[in-house]
Structure 1
Amino acid sequence: MSPEREWRLLTSVRRAIRTDPSQVALTEAYPVLNETVVVKILDLALRVGESMFAVGASAHDATFAITRISQVYGLTGVQVEVTFNAISVSYHRGEEDWPTTLLRVVRAASPDHAKLQRLQALVVDITDGMELSQARIAFRIIRRTPFLYRPIVVIVARALLTVGAAILFGASPLIILLTFISALCAAFTQAGLARLQVPSFFSQIAGAFVITAFATVVSALGAAGIEPFTDVQPSIIVASGIVLMLSGLTVVSAAQDAIDGFALTAVGRILDLTMQTVGVVLGILIGLEVARLFGFSVALPNDALPFGSLPSQIAGAAIIAVAVALFNGAGMRIILVSAMLSVIAILGYTFTLLLDIHVGAASAVGALLASFVGILIARNLHVPSVAVTTAAIVPLVPGLTVFRGLLGIVDSDGTAEGMLVGISPLVLAGTIGVGLAAGASLGLYLGTPIRETLASVAKSRARVRR
């Protein structure tokens, strides 16, 4: 055996037995942790965790960031409690001292994936040895960073999402244009209500009402024989609007918090999700009833409209993912990854349907593939996995199924058979929603250990090369 190989073997054996002090980050150490230092460390950790939670991170990610930052600066055994709208931390230095406890309220959760990306990078920098004073300054800079895009860009991006949904169904250029106009009206309406600080529940009602009213007018023009509205399918307009209304809901985060054991946070997210969905339902029902009072109606589709051709599905899914990433404040890297993962999700969904598998299971497979690939590449590309996963599964939101169910209930004659006609599509929509949440969460949990294994292998190879 050559001397070089003997030295490598000896180095490997030594590494398996002993730790290497040179590999430990030279983080600022505090031999005596007085109360002032403890408060500074806890305050930084808590503020970082609260900011991550407020811009879209899961409760587990926020807890991990808080405990990690605390451990790096010498606080072990920090207790963290995350609820739907508050985070608290507590550290007890010893039996003779009072515990130090801090609490911050999460005022309003608003996705900002670019800021989330910078916060995760800050946690990595702290782990690699950033001093406490520098970390506090860096966090203040990140916290004061404004949203990446101006309000008009967000409004147009939300309207662009419905264009992708219409393309997904293989709609004609006229329907795509009408869908964009209706969504633009709804987006401006919701933006105005947000400025007036109207609760999001009523904002959802108003947005859904605007889209339904627009679709009803288009349907009435077509019924009157006015060109070019005679061949327009208003159900696609409403279905695309439903995808817009439900695109910002935290389905993945709610399922992930429930699986992680954050029951209170998961219940809060699920309740918020339910209320937002109920708002959409009420807005559509109010719109249909108002139209009925004026003598107008929207024809109930006899069958569920299938997706368009495979190129239309790919283009529509990519546009939806890009639009979701834009109005969630994502940068160019997250936008590109989201578009790629949305294509993976729609391809997995489409090819699973070819095997004659239930649409709910097919949705779960598409979400699983997207989240699994997303968690593997998110670390190397330094993008939040929850950001790209959320954008990737929005194309599979069952907007048309929800609309068919609601329209069936409105058109029912009050009999049990008539009600079942409307309830059946809603049950199917619920099944698809559960499949999306379960598939996305399962993909994250299957990909996490594989990602950690690949990361450890890469570090081992780097040490051997050194």
Structure 2
Amino acid sequence: MMTEPVKNLQQKSYPSAFDSAPVEPETASADVFGASSSLPQAGAAGEKSQDERSLGSSAFERGSVGEESSAEPDSFESSPFEPNPDTGQAPALTTALPVISVVVPEKDRLQGVQPATYPSADHTTAIPKISRGERRRNHRWVPTSLKSFVHADQSLTKPMRGMARLAQKQFAVASQQRRDREEYVREKEQAREILNFSLRLSETMFHYGADTVDVDSAIVSVCAAYGLDDIEIDITNQSVIINYVSDIDQINVKTQMMRTVSDSDAPGRQEKKEERFSHTVMRVVRSWSENYAALDDIYKLIYDITTRGLSMPRAERRLLQINEAKKPYSPLLIMLANIMTAFGLTMGLGGSLAAGIAAGLVFLAIHFVNQLIARLNLPSFFNMAAGAGVVTFTAIYISDPESIFASIGVNVAAAHIVAAGLIMMLPTSRLVSSVQDALNGFPLTAAGKVVSTGMSFLGIVVGLASAVMVLGMIGTAELNIEETVFDPANVWVHWIFMMIACVATGMTFQARWKTLLWVALISSCGIWTYNLILLVLGADSSRAATAGAALVIGLASTYLAYRLHAPAAIFFVPGLTFLLPGLSIFRGLYMFTVETNFNSTGVPGMVTAVGIVVSMASGVVLGSYIMQNIIQRVLRPRRNSASGFTETQSIQVLDR
């Protein structure tokens, strides 16, 4: 028979329904990893083995009190047993899930009283085993749905905080897997250090081009991995505000468990009561640099924190190394990649070889103009205006029959060159991100991005109109946009050169070569989906084809992000390049600004271009949500069952 205090404590802490079987000489139990082990019967009353004393003093056991302690589970008095030092291993999670039995060597079997962190009872010979088929039959979807439909809904009676509000997000899935993470006792300075690190991490993510929803879920997941569960985040355009208020009940319980001091060791010393405290930190992001290689490293860092238990000192060092690392490509390679992008877009839109070469040379001129503007630290509005002016002036002048280029036999179509230049100058990532933020529940951030994107777009309008005005002053013939015929390229030519343009665009964003190979695959899938929909529905279904291709790109990008622990944006932003409506934008802008034709072509062309952009962004978001649900409900359970993962299994913590 076990001693009476331990017996009462176990019965009150973990009530059991299995009390019909008699007590055997040996009681089957489970060790901390869920393996079946045999426990010898406790000695006579008043006797206490060394293993029992070691278990009673464990910091992971809620009922670890002395033999004279009260049986009340909510009272924590001083104990003569000091807690064990931190060994760096996460505590086992209290759970009632079925236990998978495995053979354990004799030397590794747990001796002494059964740990109180698992369901137990006096008169239990063995923990019942539930097969996978029985578990599935007990959780059938139809009865559960009918029961939830009949009963009153209690799910929204309190606000959702922390990890609970992150539905199917990339980091949330990883953090929820580490349910047995180490329990921390949070002091004020520790909480502030965690919040400051999370704030620096969010600023770095925004600086390198991460999405708002990813930044939000990353902050919550990183703070939860380090012990701060209930935090509130407010992301508004450029500012990030993080607030944390400690839970006074949990703080008092943890400090009394972990820091109890016996009267004999420190007579007269009173236990210090923890008080509720709050911290609020804020950071404003004022600079952007689309560096997909660094952004990829940031996401892998977050994965190591939320899943592998990377300590915060090591995480801070890695974040510093990421910010100090050089970019993968030199400015010369970036310039060549931009020239290749212009060439590929022009050829993919149906331009001739001469038009493609001319587009590359035109962008070379744009590059030097942008370098001059960058030295003057002018806003992006002037950068867009100068670029649009240069590409429009050069393209229309080269295509003029009376120009010098026509006299030497160079005949090109200006529309393809200008369309390729506009596609390159359009802020693709911000266009997609603004629609994503509006759909994901960040309306103020979406409005701010729409305003900044609109100003950049207005700069393109000003540059195009100014170039046409200068061309009229020097006597160049105006371009008759209504009579211009836009013949699409051959399907194979369209695929090859658009894929080259997408890969070159990813290179301009500083994506690594491995990422560029995935971009080539994803863009190819999108291009063939686009052409297939046009073939089935007809040439007038451009918006439906755009949405379908974007859906495929969103599905593939989200799956790759899950498998490679990378941001989905580094795949879908370059992969969407071929879907941008460069010709529609050029036609609408030219009719709207130059010929002031508001009714026949101008406004309808602009509406068509905006509709294509919205279809593209919404298709990516829809594909992302669909794939996230598939990952959470289908792929991840299969992967966990194949690897033998259980919720009671401890995860090794890195360098704690």
Question: Is the pair's TM-score, using the shorter chain for normalization, greater than 0.5?
Answer: yes
SS at match of 1:142: helix
Please give the secondary structure, in 2, of the residue aligned with 1:329.
coil
Contact map agreement 1:155 1:188 (CA 8 A) in 2: no
Q: Deviations over 1:225-277 (max 9, x none)?
A: 51322x31111111110011115441221111111111111111111111111
Higher Rg: 2
Aligned to 1:122: 301
Q: Does structure 1 retain, via aligned residues, the 8 Å contact 2:350–2:416?
A: no
Q: Which amino acid aligns with 1:122?
A: L
Match of 2:588 among 381, 401, 405: 405
Q: 1:418 to 1:50 in 2, by over 3 A?
A: closer
Superposition pairs for residues 43-442 of structure 1, below 5 Å? 43-94=196-247, 96-127=275-306, 128-220=308-400, 225-229=406-410, 231-301=411-481, 302-303=483-484, 305-354=486-535, 355-356=537-538, 357-410=540-593, 412=595, 419-442=599-622
For residue 418 of structure 1, report the CA deviation from its aligned partner.
Answer: 6.5
Partner of 1:250, secondary structure, is helix
% same residue:
28
Q: Specify the SS of the correspondent of 1:305.
A: coil
In 2: Cα distance, 1:182 partner to 1:315 partner: 22
Distance of aligned partners of 1:27 and 1:464 in 2 relative to their CA distance in 1, 3 Å threshold: closer
1:100 partner SS: strand
* TM-superposition CA deviations, 1:385-414 (whole Å, max 9, x none): 1121111111111111111222223553x6
Structure 1, residues 287-324: CA drift from partner, whole Å, max 9, x if none? 11111111113422425514201111111221121122
Q: Distance in 1 between matches of 2:312 and 2:598?
A: 65
Larger helix proportion of the pair: 1
Contact 1:317 1:339 in 2 (8 A): no
Deviation track 1:120-154 (CA, whole Å, cap 9, x = no partner) reads 11111112111121111111111222332222222
Moved more, 220-229 or 197-206: 220-229
- Contact 2:468–2:594 under 8 Å retained in 1: no
* Stretch of structure 1 that moved more, 197-206 or 274-283: 274-283
Give 1:187 deviation, angstroms.
2.1
Contact between 1:249 and 1:273, CA under 8 Å: does it hold in 2? no
CA contact (8 A) 2:198 2:223 kept: yes
Instruction: Classify the secondary structure of the residue corresponding to 1:89.
Output: strand
- In the other structure, the counterpart of 1:3 is none
Q: Secondary structure of 2:282's match?
A: strand
Residue 20 of structure 1 is matched in structure 2 by none
Question: Distance in 1 between the 2:368 and 2:359 partners?
Answer: 14
CA contact (8 A) 1:28 1:129 kept: no
Separation of aligned partners in 2, 1:263 and 1:99: 27
Find the aligned partners of 1:86 and 1:422 in 2 and give their Cα distance: 37
Counterpart residue type for residue 195 of structure 1: R
Q: What CA distance in whole angstroms lies between the structure 2 residues aligned with 1:366 and 1:136?
A: 39
Give the Cα separation in 1 of the matches to 2:516 and 2:418.
26
Structure 1 counterpart of 2:279, one-letter code? T
Calculate the TM-score normalised by the size of structure 2: 0.65
Amino acid corresponding to residue 405 of structure 1 in structure 2: G
1-structure distance, mates of 2:225, 2:551: 34
- Asked if the contact 1:25–1:129 (Cα under 8 Å) also holds between the matched residues in 2, the reply is no
Deviation at 1:424, TM superposition (A): 2.3
Q: Does 1:30 align with 2:210?
A: no
1:55–1:111: 8 Å Cα contact kept in structure 2? yes
Alignment partners' CA distance in 1, 2:301 and 2:591: 51
Which sits farther off after the overlay, 271-280 or 355-364?
Answer: 355-364
| Kept in 1: contact 2:355–2:412 (CA 8 A) | yes
Matched-pair contact (CA < 8 Å) for 1:219–1:298: no
Q: Do the aligned residues in 1 keep the contact of 2:300 with 2:566 (CA within 8 Å)? A: no
Report the CA distance shift for 1:162/1:113 in structure 2 as closer, same or farther (over 3 A). Answer: same
TM-score (norm 1): 0.90
Quick one: distance in 1 between partners of 2:134 and 2:285? Answer: 44
CA RMSD in angstroms, aligned pairs only: 2.6
2:179 and 2:491 map into 1 onto residues whose CA distance is: 50
